[in-house]
Chains A and B, each alone.
Chain A
Amino acid sequence: MKMRYTQGKFLITEKKAIAKGIFDVTVQCPEVAKIAEPGQFVHAAAAGFSLRRPISVCEIDRTAGTLRIVFEVRGKGTERLSECNRGEVMDLIAPLGRGFKLLEPDKKAICIGGGIGTPPMLAAAQHYGANATVISGFRSASAVILQEDFAACGAKTLLCTDDGTQGKKGRVTDLLDECLARENPDIIYACGPEVMLKAVAERAMARDVFCQVSLEQRMGCGVGACLVCACKIRRGGEEYYAHVCQDGPVFDCREVRFDG
Chain B
Amino acid sequence: MADLRVKIAGVEFKNPVIPASGAFGYGREYERFYPLSKLGGIAVKGTTLHRKDGNPPPRIAETPAGMLNSVGLQNGGLEKFLKFELPNLLTKDTRIIANIAGATAEECAELAARLDTTAVDMLELNISCPNVKQGGAAFGTSCQSAAEVTKRVRAVTSKPLMVKLSPNVTSITEIAAAVEAEGADALSLINTLLGMRIDIRTRRPILKNNVGGLSGPAVFPIAVRMVWQVANAVKIPVVGMGGISTAEDAIEMMMAGASAVQVGAAIFQNPYAPLEIIEGMARWCDENAVALISDITGTVQPW
- Using a CB–CB cutoff of 8 Å, the interface residues on chain A facing chain B are 3-7, 45, 49-52, 77, 93, 217-232, 240-241, 246, 260
Contacts and interface: CB of A to CB of B under 8 A. Distances in A.
B232 interface: no
B69 interface: yes
A230 B57 contact: yes
Interface stretch (B25-33, B94-102, B151-159, B162-170): B25-33
Contacts of A4: 32
Contacts of A93: 271
B65 A50 contact: yes
Contacts of A49: 62, 269
Contact of A218 (B25, B60, B65, B270): B60
Contacts of A217: 57-58
Interface string B46-70: 0000000111111111110111010
A230 B54 contact: yes
Contacts of A231: 57
A51 B268 contact: yes
A41 to B, nearest CB: 15
Interface residues of B, number: 37
A5 B22 contact: no
Nearest to A225: B25
Contact of B29 (A224, A232, A260): A224
A234 to B, nearest CB: 13
Nearest to A239: B53
B74 A230 contact: yes
A3 B32 CA distance: 8
Contacts of A226: 22-23, 25, 60, 69, 71, 268
A42 to B, nearest CB: 14
Given A226-B22, A228-B60, A240 B32 contact: no
B71 A228 contact: yes
Contacts of A3: 32
Contact of B57 (A77, A218, A223): A218
**B-side interface mostly:** loop
Contacts of B74: 227, 230, 241
B267 interface: yes
A168 B202 CA distance: 30
Chain A CB count within 10 A is highest, among B59, B268, B271, for B268
Interface of B: 22-25, 28-30, 32-33, 45, 53-63, 65-67, 69, 71, 74, 206, 216-217, 265, 267-272
A73 B45 CA distance: 34
Contacts of A52: 268-269
Given A50-B265, A220-B69, A228 B29 contact: no
Contacts of B22: 226-227
Contact of A228 (B24, B33, B59): B59
15 contacts: A4-B32, A6-B32, A7-B271, A50-B67, A93-B271, A218-B206, A220-B67, A221-B268, A221-B271, A227-B45, A227-B71, A230-B59, A230-B74, A240-B53, A246-B29
B29 A223 contact: yes
Given A51-B60, A221-B268, A230-B54, A5 B32 contact: yes
A3 B29 CA distance: 9
A226 to B, nearest CB: 6
A44 to B, nearest CB: 11
B269 A50 contact: yes
A248 B56 CA distance: 17
Contacts of B269: 45, 49-52
Given A4-B32, A220-B268, A223-B30, 6 more contacts: A50-B62, A50-B67, A218-B58, A228-B60, A229-B59, A230-B54
B136 to A, nearest CB: 16
Nearest to A48: B65
Chain A CB count within 10 A is highest, among B28, B57, B67, B71, for B57
Nearest to A7: B271
B56 A260 contact: yes
Q: Which 3 A-B residue pairings sit nearest by Cβ, starting from the closest? A: A225-B25, A228-B60, A223-B29
Contacts of B267: 221, 225
A1 to B, nearest CB: 13
Contacts of A218: 57-61, 206
